[in-house]
Chain A
Amino acid sequence: MATGVDRRRAEFKRYKEDVESRGKPFFPYAMWHDTVMSLVVVLLAIGLACIWYFDSGEDPEDVGILGPRYTAEADPGTVSFIPRPDWFFFFLFYLLRIFKWPESVVLGTVGIPTLCLILLLALPFLDVRPERRILRRPVALVAGVLVIISMGVLTYKGATAEEGGAAGGDVVEQWMTAGDLPEEARPGAELVAESGCLNCHTYRGAGSSNFGAPDLTQIGAQGQGVDFFHRYVANPRDFGNTVMPVYESLGEENLDAIATFLDASKNP
């Protein structure tokens, strides 16, 4: 009776015999393919390096298609830089954004990645059927497709994830022009850009969306009026919002400016 082990050994023996009798020498047949692919890899590396270098400049701000040559020197005391990992960690990075509750953070940082690594290592022991054709391995096919899709989606979302935090100075100019805002809205625009509002709200593509905070690009279009925005931003608790910070301490003048800006933000 052929047990599983015997059958596998028999198949491997057949394999060895087939290769001996009908196989071709590695050099030059297979090695030719390998060499061509390796040339492609080397040319890609050189090509990417050239594009990256010639499309950027010595200044860290001089950014090309493939990014800057380097950013500013490390400053452990910064208050304005927003960390990003290398692109191949974007899937982990976005996983962290999914697990927003303090109790669940461990799942996203170490739980899921560790579990996936264990499954990866144990794969040959989980799948012991000898069948190798993919269309006859439904579990493997589904698992493989799911992994590829989820890693692809996570990486894409990580790459396009909006950056919260204080936006740079030119962005205000862009907002004023794109939204056709009156000049009196400018002080409020500057305040909103630098006061951390963009950590939770988005505005014309800047900022990041967290905790259900609405996009503010056209927040004034509903006609709630300057006074409404002033009171809301001063104390969101009065309106049932328990997540947004209370900005009363900014002072009347600043709150007026912000409210004017928000009310003027009506245009798409």
Chain B
Amino acid sequence: MATTTTPPRRKPPSRASVAINYPLDWLEERSGLVGGVKYFLFRKVPGDTNWMQTLGSATLTAFLIQAVTGVVLAMYYKPSPNEAYASIVHITNDVTLGWLVRGMHKWGASLFIILMFLHMGRVFLFGAYKYPRELNWIVGALLIPIGLFEGFTGYLLPWDQTAYWATVVGININGTAPFLGPFIAQFLQGGAEIGPDTLSRFYSLHMLLLPGAIIGLILLHLYLVVRLGVSSPPWSKEAAGMERPEDVQSGNGRPGLTRPTRRGGDA
């Protein structure tokens, strides 16, 4: 009774697409990761997102620059008071493109901090710290002092006059905190005064503990962004989530009361 139609002939998959899809399918069946990446890439975001909303990923790029250049620098840097300065001079002047790696790390740090603050300002401007994104704001607000502390610990590593004395003052500032201050200062110094353990301690903080914390918090931050969605600019006429006149009229007719439904349907 149903008319039979021949189904449209499908072209056999090309060799290239098989070459790409076969390993991806293999991986997906065994881990589910490919699906996760596809979800991240092809998820829907509001159509009216602004250029200002690229600051977050720009900050992430700056951090990645720091991580990569930092790893390379660590291959040449020697964290001992007797050798640190000489190793920095060596990296800057002798090692092939060492100046570029060190320069990118040094200026990348400033870029990272600037972008963090700009990103925070953008989120504040958009009111994107409000429900349900409060937790994301808190994670971000924790990232700021950790990022600044990364800058502080990294500043000591060249062990030149600027580094040493800025650190003396910085540690003593922490030391002025009531009650715990002197203990915090001694913890940072690794002793009663700045000594050889101070540099190692700062190096360990700068390379291991703080980047670990930053990476963990960034992952949480990104997860929350994907889960909660990117907000539309609040001034946008097409902002996602905005109450529309037709929504107010649906429902049981009382103004301001809305039962959320698919738009156009009845409550």
Contact = CB atoms under 8 A, between A and B. Distances in A.
**A and B in contact, CB less than 8 Å:** yes
Interface of A: 2, 8, 10-27, 29-31, 33-34, 36-38, 40-42, 44-46, 48-50, 52-53, 58, 60, 69-76, 78, 81-89, 92, 96, 105-106, 109-110, 117, 120-121, 123-125, 127-134, 137, 140, 144, 148
Interface stretch (B9-17, B165-173, B206-214, B216-224): B165-173
Interface stretch (B21-29, B71-79, B125-133): B125-133
B173 A74 contact: no
A252 B238 CA distance: 82
Contacts of B131: 8, 12, 124, 128, 130
A148 B113 CA distance: 15
Contacts of B95: none
A132 B85 contact: no
A18 B237 CA distance: 13
Given A19-B46, A49-B99, A86-B110, 16 more contacts: A14-B240, A24-B46, A34-B57, A37-B51, A44-B111, A45-B104, A52-B103, A53-B100, A69-B92, A71-B160, A72-B160, A78-B165, A82-B165, A84-B165, A124-B134, A130-B131
A140 B124 contact: yes
B204 interface: no
What secondary structure prevails in chain B residues at the interface with A? Answer: helix
A36 B125 CA distance: 22
29 contacts: A10-B259, A14-B241, A17-B263, A24-B47, A25-B41, A25-B42, A37-B54, A37-B61, A41-B58, A41-B62, A46-B100, A48-B107, A49-B102, A50-B103, A58-B89, A69-B92, A70-B160, A71-B163, A72-B160, A73-B161, A86-B151, A92-B173, A96-B173, A106-B176, A110-B178, A124-B129, A124-B133, A133-B234, A144-B124
Contacts of B121: 144, 148
B182 to A, nearest CB: 13
A53 to B, nearest CB: 4
Given A41-B58, A70-B88, A25 B44 contact: yes
B240 A106 contact: no
Nearest to A70: B160
Contacts of A85: 152, 155, 166, 169-170
Interface in B209-267: 229-231, 234-235, 238, 240-243, 247, 256-260, 262-263
A130 B51 CA distance: 23
Contacts of B168: 83
B45 A40 contact: no
Nearest to B138: A121
Contacts of B93: 58, 69
A60 B92 CA distance: 12
B41 A14 contact: no
What secondary structure prevails in chain A residues at the interface with B? Answer: helix
B162 to A, nearest CB: 5
Nearest to B129: A124
A83 B126 contact: no
B145 interface: yes
Contacts of A109: 173-174, 176-177
The 5 nearest A-B residue pairs measured at CB: A49-B103, A15-B241, A23-B44, A132-B127, A83-B165
A81 B164 CA distance: 10
Given A11-B241, A74-B85, A140 B127 contact: yes
A49 B104 contact: yes
B241 A73 contact: no
A41 B42 contact: no
Most buried by A among B115, B145, B164, B168: B164
B161 A75 contact: yes
A176 B58 CA distance: 51
Contact of B162 (A45, A84, A88): A84
Contacts of B92: 53, 58, 69-70
Contact of B160 (A34, A74, A76): A74
Nearest to A69: B92
